[in-house]
Amino acid sequence: MPQSPLLIGCASGFSGDRSDGAAAVVRTLAAQGGGTLIFETLAERTLALAQLARNDDPRRGYEPLLDELVAPVLADCLRHGISIVSNFGAANPQGAALRIAEIAREQGLPAPRIAIVHGDALNAPEQRALMKEKLGAALDGLDIVSATAYLGATEIAQALAAGAQIVVAGRVADPSLTLGPALAHFGWDPADWPKLGRATMAGHMLECGLQVTGGYFCVPGLKDVPDVDSAGFPIAEIQADGEFVIGKAADTGGAVDARTVKEQLLYEVHDPARYLTPDVVADLSHAHVVELGGDRVAVRGITGHARPAELKVNVCYRGGWLAEAEISYAGVQAEARARLAADIVQKRLGSAFKLRADLIGAISILGDDAGEMRRALPDSHARDVRLRLAGEHADRAQAERILREVTALYTCGPAGGGGVRTALRPRLNMLSCTIPREAVHSGWNFLEEIAP
């Protein structure tokens, strides 16, 4: 097995991220002899939305921006031996793989070897029975859209080792997108927990895209970041022992320093000694960072422990309706009028709704759904306030009452309310549990084995 370092670049941190970041990453990887390009495009509910899209059209259900992500860099990746690994298959990895094969044909490229990871969707009766065992009555009567397990790096590694140039997965854990290529490249023992722990945290650094390269870090005057508008996506250099350095695409804006790296290291971590993934329990409780200069930071001191026995499962279900309506007040007593308007609507709708009021421009984001903070804060005499009311109801017609009450403020007062906007959206809710990994039948195939 080669022991040369492996470069892994990430060009997407979620579905909806910038889609023009890959070219600079691919140029950087190509100049250094190749590597792997990953796109992370799933959040907790993204997969359920993809399943709804697939229900409407069986050819859909994969990342809607797949073409934008892949088409501009496919030829260069194939030419320079850069593999592409992604969960952009979402609810339809085979559909995504077919589309990539089509893009290659449209561009006159030789057919790439595309692998598909399967088994994350839990639809078998015995799998549903296990979820029922774990979640009990909470599952009763739910209109389930999707139930998926978080797969790990094993299938990705196997597919790459077998010669896949592109690996399309659905729900795999975000860091597994990085660990898979590392396992394939270095041929590590899959129970070498310290190495797996380190490469997993390298994946954790990459998985949110610009969060580690300064995009999500900057605070004007306090945490300034150069050229943040053109910040580059991150690249990890992983060594044969799993130690890694975080950098970014060449000739891009943004910054990678000890501070940006520390923020991302702890992002969405609970116990730093036990960061759970399907592959390993990573331990960053003794991590430290070393700035190497030139937007490169080494992260050292990470180890790992044996992987959990069970896999995490997300169950998404239809969750009624979210109604949101806004109206603006400006000038003298604007905040007092907005507060009065909120009281009026809340009194008229009574206790039948979970309802929230925000005074945008005075208090909104930091408040709580119950409104305790808003009631406790004295009138700050804000003179440009937008009142936002949000509520939910299982029944669409009831949810619409919220919108009508806010619209009625146009004539029913308080004075000077303007600019009403209303929106009604279906909600997707989620439950989580874990099930034994033996109950999850994961695997992988080359596309041509399924759809020759």
Partner 1 sequence: MTQANQTVAVPLYRLAHSRSGDKGNISNLSLIAWDPECYAALEAQVTETRVADWFAYRHPTGVKRYTLPTLHAMNFVLDGVLDGGVNDALNLDTHGKSLSFRLLDMTVEVSAELARRLPDIPGDRPAAA
- Rounded to a whole number of angstroms, the minimum distance from the CB of residue 128 to partner 1 is 20
- Contacting residue, 319, 383, 416, 451, with partner 1 by CB under 8 A: 319
Residue with Cβ nearer partner 1 (176 or 264):
264
- Rounded to a whole number of angstroms, the minimum distance from the CB of residue 127 to partner 1 is 21
* Helix (H/G/I), strand (E/B), else coil: 171: coil
Does 432 help bind partner 1 (rule: CB under 8 A)?
yes
Does 308 help bind partner 1 (rule: CB under 8 A)?
no
Does 269 help bind partner 1 (rule: CB under 8 A)?
yes
Piece of 13-21, 161-169, 172-180, 259-267 that binds partner 1 (CB under 8 A) = 259-267
* Helix (H/G/I), strand (E/B), else coil: 277: coil
- Tokens describing residue 289: 């960072």
- Contacting residue, 164, 265, 338, 403, with partner 1 by CB under 8 A: 265
- Give phi and psi for 113, each to the nearest 5: -85, 110
**If 0-12 CB within 10 Å is exposed, 13-18 middle and 19+ buried, where does residue 268 land?**
exposed
Piece of 22-30, 68-76, 169-177, 387-395 that binds partner 1 (CB under 8 A) = 387-395
Does 355 help bind partner 1 (rule: CB under 8 A)?
yes
- Rounded to a whole number of angstroms, the minimum distance from the CB of residue 420 to partner 1 is 17
Piece of 56-64, 363-371, 417-425, 441-449 that binds partner 1 (CB under 8 A) = 363-371
- Contacting residue, 364, 407, 422, 434, with partner 1 by CB under 8 A: 364
- Rounded to a whole number of angstroms, the minimum distance from the CB of residue 26 to partner 1 is 28
As a whole number of angstroms, the distance between CA 411 and CA 387 comes to 16
H or E element: which one contains 183?
A: helix 176-186
Does 434 help bind partner 1 (rule: CB under 8 A)?
no
Piece of 104-112, 142-150, 280-288, 336-344 that binds partner 1 (CB under 8 A) = 280-288
Piece of 6-14, 103-111, 173-181, 213-221 that binds partner 1 (CB under 8 A) = 213-221
- Give phi and psi for 438, each to the nearest 5: -65, -25
Residue 141 CB coordination number (10 Å):
7
- Contacting residue, 288, 348, 404, 441, with partner 1 by CB under 8 A: 288
Token look-up 């979402």 returns 90
- Contacting residue, 111, 129, 290, 373, with partner 1 by CB under 8 A: 373
Piece of 85-93, 112-120, 282-290, 329-337 that binds partner 1 (CB under 8 A) = 282-290
- Contacting residue, 38, 91, 390, 399, with partner 1 by CB under 8 A: 390
Does 388 help bind partner 1 (rule: CB under 8 A)?
yes
Does 271 help bind partner 1 (rule: CB under 8 A)?
yes
Does 228 help bind partner 1 (rule: CB under 8 A)?
no
Does 345 help bind partner 1 (rule: CB under 8 A)?
no
CB 325 within 8 A of CB 391: no
Does 426 help bind partner 1 (rule: CB under 8 A)?
no
- Contacting residue, 287, 315, 345, 435, with partner 1 by CB under 8 A: 287
For every residue of 335-395, DSSP letters joined together read HHHHHHHHHHHHHHHTTSSEEEEEEETTB-TTS-TT-HHHHHSPP---SEEEEEEEEEESS
Among candidate residues 343, 326, 348, 344, the one with its CA nearest the CA of residue 417: 326
Residue with Cβ nearer partner 1 (73 or 287):
287
| Amino acid identity, position 383 | R
- Contacting residue, 50, 100, 289, 341, with partner 1 by CB under 8 A: 289
Chain centre to alpha carbon of residue 195 = 25
As a whole number of angstroms, the distance between CA 386 and CA 191 comes to 55
- Contacting residue, 72, 301, 308, 416, with partner 1 by CB under 8 A: 301
Piece of 140-148, 189-197, 229-237, 354-362 that binds partner 1 (CB under 8 A) = 354-362
As a whole number of angstroms, the distance between CA 166 and CA 164 comes to 5
The dihedral built from the CA positions of residue 120, 124, 130 and 134, taken in this order, carries a sign that is positive
As a whole number of angstroms, the distance between CA 435 and CA 127 comes to 8
Does 171 help bind partner 1 (rule: CB under 8 A)?
no
As a whole number of angstroms, the distance between CA 446 and CA 185 comes to 19
As a whole number of angstroms, the distance between CA 10 and CA 208 comes to 8
- Tokens describing residue 334: 């604007």
Name the E strands within 125-267: 144-149, 166-168, 234-238, 244-248
Does 270 help bind partner 1 (rule: CB under 8 A)?
yes
Does 141 help bind partner 1 (rule: CB under 8 A)?
no
Q: Which parts of this chain interact with partner 1 (CB under 8 A)?
A: 44-45, 216-217, 219, 221-223, 259, 262-273, 284-289, 301, 319, 322, 354-356, 358, 360, 364-370, 372-373, 376, 388, 390-392, 427-430, 432
